[in-house]
Amino acid sequence: MLPDAEFHHIGVACKDFDQEQRRFAALGYRQEAPDVYDPLQRVHVRFLVGGGPRMELVRSDGQPGPLAPWLKSGIKLYHLAYLVKDLPAALESLKNQGARVVVAPVPAAAFGGRDISFVMLPNLLLVELIAQ
């Protein structure tokens, strides 16, 4: 169990924000805020809100990076993200349940410099944890 977690978004890998956003607009989505570039993760992000859970469109900065395996495999919905009050405790809880940390805590531009971390659950679901 993930203590004090609140669902935040679904991460969507894409190559083109505008093209992807047009597809989500058909489901009632619109852009929530200006795009953000995260140099540590080498990705651009755009959040969409509307017809369902918040979506985070994520695209590469043009360099080989973390999205390559998903895009190569044709996988678009690639992570679930949760806000957590205590990031170290959340990481420890998930590790005790067999999760593996794939990105140690790092500050994220999309969240005002708050730390994020990615873990791979035993069922191969990628989860992003966002410090509140």
Which CATH number goes with the domain that contains 81? 3.10.180.10
- The overall longest dimension of the chain from CA atoms, in Å, is 41
Q: What integer best gives the mean pLDDT of the chain?
A: 94
> Which position has the higher pLDDT, 38 or 64?
38
Positive or negative, the CA dihedral 42, 124, 77, 84 is negative
Query: Cα–Cα distance between 20 and 115 in angstroms, integer?
Result: 27
Please state which of the ranges 6-10, 38-42, 63-67 shows the lowest mean pLDDT.
63-67
Please state the pTM of the whole predicted model: 0.93
List, for residues 20-49, the tens digit of each pLDDT value.
999 999 999 999 999 999 999 899 999 999
Mean pLDDT score, 57-72? 86
pLDDT at 3 over 80: no
Query: How many domains are contained in the chain?
Result: 1
Q: What percent of the chain has pLDDT over 90?
A: 82
* Domain residue limits at 26: 5-131
Amino acid of residue 97: Q
